[in-house]
Structure 1
Amino acid sequence: MIVQLRIFVPEELSAVVLRACKDQVGTAETAFFPGASVAPQGDVIEVQAARESVEELLEKLHVLKVEEVGSIIIAMPELVLSRRAEKAESSAPGDGADALIWDEVSHQTGEDSRLTWSYLAFLVLATQLAAIGIVTDSTIAIVGAMAVGPEFGPLAALAVALARRQWALGRRAAVALAVGFPVAMLLAALTAWLSVPLGLFPTDALDTGSAVEFIYHPGPYSLIVAVLAGAAGMLSVISRRSAALIGVFISVTTVPAAGFVAVALVLGEYQKAAASGFQLLLNLVGIVVAAVAVLLFYRVVSKRLPEATARQLRWQLRRTRG
């Protein structure tokens, strides 16, 4: 798997950055365009490298503070036909599917963790679907609610924030969860409250729904499933396998638990509401803990930039700046 980097740098930094790119193990091709950048004024360097070597190259560029004086654009070409690219992939240690690019994961989870109108809309719609599935004893509606729910984005972002100590990202994710779920549950409760006098469902709906009993019966397997789903979800984010996320969405009882709490409170089933609330909390915590564990494991096993190399790059940076 080849990754393409386009780097904009001031002219005085070009030589150091170009050398770092050319010396990086796993680099297939490097192109240099002097004076191609107008704003900021400087040069453009394009690099094609094996995915498993990109993280180390990015660490070098961060040491050189390229993102402060210029910019780095990362793209994933769909198809690269090159014998040099094949040799670069074989020379780079590890496998591209297992390679973790921290900046990519932080960016992706950061985008999915914002409290936006679309995020709220999806969470509200998912909770409404869950509530309908609960009062009609419809497993299909509940599974549909699981698939629609957008809550894994903020949970993954919270895990990244804890693993990398990016507290701004963590606060944003926490706000999305702390605001999104109460709003969705409140609207679901309002819908249920309006539906009762209209006779849309009986007041004993929670007593006859055998298909939804798992929602308010949290147990050891609730936590186990949440942990497994959290690990699988973070692995799918790291490896860019979005199809696996669908399985994660329909494995955990987050949105259904939120919908059950709303309906149970309206019907006066406070004990079941409390149990379902605990189910929700158990799933949220299990997902985040497992995702953090996966990220910490990758941090331990990943090859880090040698301190000697970092010191040499800092010396070259100071020398370049005079």
Structure 2
Amino acid sequence: MTERLRVAVLTGGPSAEHEVSLQSARAVLDALPRDRYDPVLVLIDRQCGWSLELRREMADNKIDIVFPVMHGPFGEDGVVQGHLETLGLPYVGCGVMASAIAMDKTVMRRVFAADGIQVIPHVWFTAHDWHTSTDRSDLVKSLDWPMYVKPANMGSSIGISRVTSMAELHTGVELALRYDRIVVVEQGIIARELTCGVLGDHDTPDASVVVELNVRGDWLDYEEKYLSDHELATVPAPLPEPITKEIRELSLHAYRAIGGYGLSRVDFLYEEHTGRLYLLEINTMPGFTPRSVFARGWEAGGLSYPELLSRLIDLGLARSGA
């Protein structure tokens, strides 16, 4: 019998997405084929303390690869990835640069715009800009109501508000500033929310089936994503073939633009009445919970969840030369 690979599944961390990370890691741990892998769960607490398992395993050279199933700052922004590289440990997913670019919604969109990818109209400003402005309406004067206010470095719909007036903007910005010192304000539009997964190395990645998010209210908030029992997605998305093709091509374009490797989920807004397609953001470690759409897009294309995990591990080992 072939010796099983020792996989350290990292989870937790200090970000507001700590609980989502725990759900994702549990799903990964449960689905890893035990005939190929010997997983160990490694919890990083909210104070960035690591459980002793990884240190012990590393000291004995027993870790073959790390699967950092972590979302948001610290886990998805290049910090953990850089730490693993200094330790010489192979890991699943994007590297330091791609992770850092994708985590910051302002930097990410500047990269996309420079590469000719259409992004949603938006503005951004710092906490200092907000608190010292004599006329805060000037900060968003290029946009119309409604708007969406977001922390620049956060995911899972945490810290987001839909606003329709200056009073609501004030409340929304103060909420976003609890999570980051930079705030992004996006133009609100009537659009369908679509997503597409990317899997592979930087040169020859593949795009998944396109998925549509079923948004019941104005937007898909945290409670709807993780606490509701309503069907989150339509798989595959019912779209004209040219739009599906364009989304898949743009997903690969965005992946290459940030220097992606391993996996990403690319999110879009499709404004049907104008035919415009806006790239909203790219996520380098999308949710892996049973309700998450990344794996469902691949499963619809014939790649099961356990097979998806194996592909990701193989890609991480290939990058390291292991």
Q: TM-score, normalised by structure 2?
A: 0.25
Q: TM-score, normalised by structure 1?
A: 0.25
- Determine which structure has the larger helix proportion and give its number: 1
Larger Rg: 1
- Determine which structure has the larger strand proportion and give its number: 2
